[in-house]
């Protein structure tokens, strides 16, 4: 599944540069994760890098976007394949 940044985000700026897919951007009030770009770092790393660096643990699985590891890998392959 994709990840979600909760409203506990303090805009510390550490998660955005860690995302290998460019899925994290500054939103109107907090950082946001674009679900169609988030692979939970599958294909890049063993664990989601944004979760690893977040100092307040405000990044959680998105309950509205449930995906298996196989689906996340497929998404990774689509995102990293240049046409």
| Contacts for 42 with CB less than 8 Å, ≥ 6 apart | 69, 72, 73, 75, 76
pLDDT at site 1: 77
* Per-residue pLDDT in tens (0 to 9) along the chain, 83 residues: 799 999 999 999 999 999 999 999 999 999 999 999 999 999 999 999 999 999 999 999 999 999 999 999 999 999 999 65
pLDDT at site 83: 53
- Domains, the chain: 3-80 (3.30.70.20)
Residue 3 β-bridge partners? 61
């Amino acid at each position: 599944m994709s990840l979600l940044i909760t409203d506990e985000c303090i805009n510390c700026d550490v998660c955005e540069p860690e995302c290998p897919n460019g899925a994290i951007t500054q939103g109107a009030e907090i950082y946001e994760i674009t679900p169609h770009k988030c692979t939970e770092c599958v294909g890049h790393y063993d664990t989601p890098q944004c979760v690893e660096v977040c100092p307040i643990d405000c990044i959680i699985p998105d309950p509205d976007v449930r995906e298996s590891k196989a689906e996340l890998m497929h998404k990774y392959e689509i995102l990293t394949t240049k046409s």
